[in-house]
Amino acid sequence: MRPRASVLALAAVASASAVALGACRSSADDGPCTCTPGNVSNTRSVADSAPMDGRALLERLRRHKRLVDENRNPRDIKVFDDELRHALLSFCQPCSSWVGERMTMEQMFPLHRLDYATSAVCMGLILRDGTTAYGEARPRSCR
């Protein structure tokens, strides 16, 4: 039995759409940045007195680095990082698609520059000299 033409046409359209979407994703860095993160969280955890801002994010990143440097249980670090990644989804709105569910803090932020940072933005650190250093995961066109 031969498939109907409409089924074949739908399959061809679906295949072409998948290729086009893949092309858009791969060339997204070529054009200008179309998203500006809010850099403030609209939610807060139970333990926090206020929503996360740039200074609070910087403190959480420093805590992550401390946990790693102290060779804490990797599972504890993962739980902390998962909570921080979840908080980043709100902090980076409307650009939360930048935050992948498997990204590490090292991919999102240039943690080797934490000692020079005074605050943090979505996937970046504001340094003492006023410049911003971004992590490798932030789209190039948005740096």
**Residues 22/37/67/104 CA torsion (nearest 10 deg):** 0
Question: What residues are paired with 140 via a beta bridge?
Answer: none
Q: Does residue 106 surpass a pLDDT of 80?
A: yes
45-54, 74-83, 128-137: the lowest-pLDDT one: 45-54
Domain boundaries, the chain: 36-142
For residues 31 and 34, give the distance between their C-alpha atoms in angstroms, rounded to a whole number: 9
Contact 38, 92 (CB under 8 A): yes
**pLDDT, tens digit, for every residue of 19-69?**
333 333 333 456 799 999 999 988 777 677 788 899 999 999 999 999 999
Q: What is the pLDDT of residue 79?
A: 94
User: Could you tell me the pTM of the whole model?
Assistant: 0.74
For residues 99 and 86, give the distance between their C-alpha atoms in angstroms, rounded to a whole number: 9
Contact 114, 62 (CB under 8 A): yes
